[in-house]
A and B are shown apart, each in its own frame.
Chain A
Amino acid sequence: MHVTHLSLHDFRSYPELELPLEPGASAFIGANGQGKTNLVEAIDYLATLGSHRVAADAPLVRVGAERAVVRASVERGDRTALLEIEITPGRSNRARVNRGPLPRPRDLLGWLRSVVFSPEDLRLVKGDPSDRRHFLDALLILRSPRFAGVRADYDRALRQRNSLLKTARQAGRGKGLETLDVWDGQLAAYGGELLAARLALLDELGPYLAAAYRDVAASAAAERTAAVAEYKPSFDHPDTRDRDVLREAMAEQMRERRRDEIDRGVSLVGPHRDDVVLSLGDLPAKGYASHGESWSFALALRLASYDLLRADGDDPILILDDVFAELDRDRRSHLADRVTEAEQVLVTAAVAEDVPTGLRGRRYDVAAGTATRAEEATDA
């Protein structure tokens, strides 16, 4: 799929923007703070209903404006869809497809798929478990939007249960816990489903990850060391992808650790405590991998996501946000080689020289809230 037109209204630094886009590679070049990333962030927001830069919606709306609107025409095969989201901080957002309103913004998920590479990706390797959980869940939702609901229900059940445990702890041992069984049941039901889906996703991602790491690192050493991502659950469970079995295992663990949970006033069992261990050969990447190896791993995770989505039969939009400045020459060109075939690649960079020649494609100059097509565009 690819975006043929992007309109922004009071989104970030843009009061108004109409930007026609084409398949293939486009590079957005401009000094820092001119609004390059805002462009690709808008597309990613339509795809994920979130930003790779901020957790809240408020910063997405131009200062002084009440709401922002992002609209994109997306072409998928021979069909076109007009997607639209209206972002109003503090209220529920509104989404439309082909001008028809959707019951919930969440229903927009699945219409547009994107994979974003950004400097923040290094956190996938060096950051907290929450960064890796977020990576998995985001990919899961991109592939089957239904999991946005499962994840939201799990988070809510978790907040309810934690709230109950905390109040009980303050009130004194065992007080007010008569509904704990009920919340255990809810948490285990959604937890089992989420866990089963994450495990199945990692199974599928594994081969793509190993291949992508070899391609990006592309060194003699990388040939011998396999990049592996292994799920590390917060509790022992049978080696299965059956959500009912996993639900039972989680419920069992919660029963066993109940005393501990009551003492500490917090839920200790479930997907919210899990991690993904990334390793190169026999060593964990975190703490052992060099800076360059960590970058290769982060890129490989994104590339593997891209390959997996592509194998599903839908070419997602690739967004390379300010990522080349972070990479050495070899990694730059290996990454570029891997993605030149993509249906649509959007690249942002402060200076044109950072963008590998294969990806320069059409060039847009971004300055002070405008994006203009540069004349000397195609060098291919």
Chain B
Amino acid sequence: MYEGVVQDLIDELGRLPGIGPKSAQRIAFYLLDADPVDVRRFADVLIEVKEKVRFCATCGNVAESETCRICADPRRDQSVLCVVEESKDVVAIERTREFRGRYHVLGGAISPIDGRGPDDLRIRELMQRLADGAITEIILATDPNLEGEATATYLTRLLKPLGLRVTRLASGLPVGGDLEYADEVTLGRAFEGRRTVD
């Protein structure tokens, strides 16, 4: 146990995800040693992020104003919507620069164990966005795990009757990998999702 505020800092850091007691201690002492200006800037950002950042009223992504940058961008395709679980999935897909449509962030996946049902996700908001008929294709980009698949299946049942084109991200072999090292589930999925070559 350290004295007063040093221990407080270690305790606070230790509550962050992925940081154990030893890492917390290392970071605390790094901060003690660091330039006061750097630490001040770090502290300011922490305060600012809680005060300024909000969630986009349209898509649920993190934003600094009423609407996020992507929803506000008139060049983005209005007819395609990509549904993801978290804001960080938006960033991941944006990095690809392949997708020019807009997003809808659900805020998680259906998981009864964690007490999360459809009402706890932004599904009602999704349905409202579809009401005016501008959106014609929905890409379901939830995680390829049990909960992500369940959420995608649930949404498919909800969306299909609306006459939209509903697609699911393909799952299969990683690019740059070796076929022989792929696990059997991934390889099996890749077989199921194979396509004709021209």
Contact = CB atoms under 8 A, between A and B. Distances in A.
A196 to B, nearest CB: 15
Contact of B184 (A146, A167, A176): A146
A160 B146 contact: yes
A98 interface: no
Contacts of B150: 160, 179, 182-183, 186
A146 B153 CA distance: 24
B113 A159 contact: yes
A163 B110 CA distance: 12
Given A160-B150, A163-B113, A179 B118 contact: yes
Contact of A179 (B110, B115, B185): B110
Contact of A164 (B112, B153, B157, B184): B112
Given A153-B146, A160-B146, A185-B153, A107 B183 contact: yes
Nearest to A180: B112
A198 interface: no
Nearest to A190: B146
A67 interface: no
B149 A186 contact: yes
Nearest to B188: A146
Contacts of B110: 179, 182
A182 B154 contact: yes
B11 interface: no
Contacts of A178: 117-118, 154
A160 B113 contact: yes
Nearest to B119: A176
B89 interface: no
A116 to B, nearest CB: 25
Nearest to B114: A163
A12 interface: no
B interface majority secondary structure: helix
A356 B64 CA distance: 77
Contacts of A163: 112-113
A159 B184 CA distance: 24
Interface in A136-153: 145-146, 149, 153
Interface string B117-135: 1100000000000000000
B17 to A, nearest CB: 13
Contacts of A186: 146, 149-150, 153
Nearest to B153: A182
B111 interface: yes
Contacts of B149: 186
B112 A161 contact: yes
B147 interface: yes
Contacts of A149: 183-185
Contacts of A164: 112, 117
A145 B184 CA distance: 9
Contacts of B183: 103-104, 107, 146, 149
Contact of B112 (A145, A167, A181): A167
A160 B118 contact: no
A298 B136 CA distance: 61
Nearest to A159: B113
A185 B153 CA distance: 9
Given A107-B183, A167-B112, A179-B118, 20 more contacts: A103-B183, A146-B183, A149-B183, A149-B184, A153-B146, A157-B146, A159-B113, A160-B111, A160-B112, A160-B146, A161-B112, A163-B112, A164-B112, A178-B117, A178-B154, A179-B110, A179-B117, A179-B154, A182-B110, A183-B150
